[in-house]
Amino acid sequence: MNIERVWAVWYSATGNTDKAVNTVAGELSAKLGLPLEQVNFTKPAEREKEYSFTEKDLVVMGTPTYAGKMPNKLLPDFQSRFHGNGALAVAIVTFGNRNYDNSLAELCAVLEGDRFHTVAAGAFVGQHAFTDELAYGRPGWSDQFEMKEFARRISVKVKSLTDTPAPVKVPGDPGAPYYIPMGTDGQPAKFLKAKPKTYLSRCTNCGACARLCPMGAIDPKNVSNVPGTCIKCQRCVRKCTKGAKYFDDEAFLSHVKMLEQNFAEPKDNEVFL
């Protein structure tokens, strides 16, 4: 098959998926000797555009795992904004050391539904957005080494293709329900309505959180006001240089503690091709 361009396409709130997708796509572009194009799908304005590909494109697309699946508020954008038109695709998810459950299967199904042909897929561990206690610093050096080896194997597969490949097989069920977050008491932790709070003594109202929020949920004129839908992605918490954003919702904090107590053992990356 005559591929002419490699694409990196990603949604990434705290940077892990950005790193995974760009490491794999960058290495693929180097190994295949092809130009690399990028689409950062994180900001609301980027998710309003349409992206059409052709059978000369190889698209590496990535998303984090939220509650065992793709982020539900972004799913319609992933389903409607991309037009594969026969392009090859590599599906990538990151997960915060609990489990990716059904997110990779869902992304593969979305890609096939968007008329891409999946050739490979990978689930990579990343520091949990909720806490530094899970997978701290990942993806790190050795994860990136594995990502590059994954890209090398994909380049070999792509070069050897003479016909449309069969969809890559991955574990999970795209139709499965979302993972229900639990608290330390073993009961469901209900924090759907939780929103970030602001330490007014630290906040300089610079507006970075409002500009960076993937949901456009924060009022740019008064950043302590969050009138929009918060998806708990932690981008504002992680990106604020003054450390002025935090969550104090009790159910949320109980879930984080439960994760720290039960999922600290380092998990492996998994690739399929």
Ligand X SMILES: Cc1cc2nc3c(=O)[nH]c(=O)nc-3n(C[C@H](O)[C@H](O)[C@H](O)COP(=O)(O)O)c2cc1C
Give the interface size with ligand X as a residue count (CB under 6 A): 25
Token pair in block for residue 197: 């709070």
Nearer to ligand X, 179 or 272 (CB): 179
> Per residue in 246-263, is it b (16+ CB within 10 Å) or e — as a string?
ebebebbbbbbebbbeeb
Other beta carbons less than 10 A from residue 148's beta carbon: 17
Contact call for residue 234 and ligand X (CB under 6 A): yes
Backbone angles phi, psi at 116, to 5 degrees: -100, 160
Smallest gap from Cβ 257 to ligand X, in A, equals 15
Q: Do 136 and 21 touch, CB atoms closer than 8 A?
A: no
Helix-strand-coil split of the chain, %, nearest 5 = 30, 20, 50
Contact call for residue 14 and ligand X (CB under 6 A): yes
- Which of 104, 108, 233, 236 binds ligand X (CB under 6 A)? It is 233
Contact call for residue 179 and ligand X (CB under 6 A): yes
Which window, 14-22, 33-41, 166-174, 187-195, contacts ligand X (CB under 6 A)?
Answer: 14-22
Contact call for residue 70 and ligand X (CB under 6 A): no
Non-local (6+) Cβ contacts of 112 within 8 A are: 118, 167
Contact call for residue 17 and ligand X (CB under 6 A): yes
- Which of 98, 117, 245, 255 binds ligand X (CB under 6 A)? It is 98
Contact call for residue 64 and ligand X (CB under 6 A): yes
Judged by DSSP in three states, 84 sits in: coil
Q: Do 107 and 61 touch, CB atoms closer than 8 A?
A: yes
DSSP secondary structure code for residue 224 in this structure: T
Nearer to ligand X, 14 or 198 (CB): 14
Contact call for residue 22 and ligand X (CB under 6 A): no
Nearer to ligand X, 99 or 225 (CB): 99
Contact call for residue 81 and ligand X (CB under 6 A): no
Which window, 44-52, 147-155, 160-168, 230-238, contacts ligand X (CB under 6 A)?
Answer: 230-238
Q: Which of 22, 223, 261 is nearest to 131 (CA)?
A: 261
Which window, 110-118, 126-134, 204-212, 242-250, contacts ligand X (CB under 6 A)?
Answer: 126-134
Smallest gap from Cβ 55 to ligand X, in A, equals 28
Nearer to ligand X, 35 or 188 (CB): 188
Q: Do 111 and 81 touch, CB atoms closer than 8 A?
A: no
Q: Which of 143, 77, 31, 120 is nearest to 6 (CA)?
A: 31
Nearer to ligand X, 31 or 138 (CB): 138
Contact call for residue 94 and ligand X (CB under 6 A): yes
Could you check whether the bond before residue 139 is cis, i.e. omega within 30 degrees of 0?
yes
Given the rule CB under 6 A, which residues bind ligand X? 12-18, 64-68, 94-99, 126, 128-129, 179, 232-234
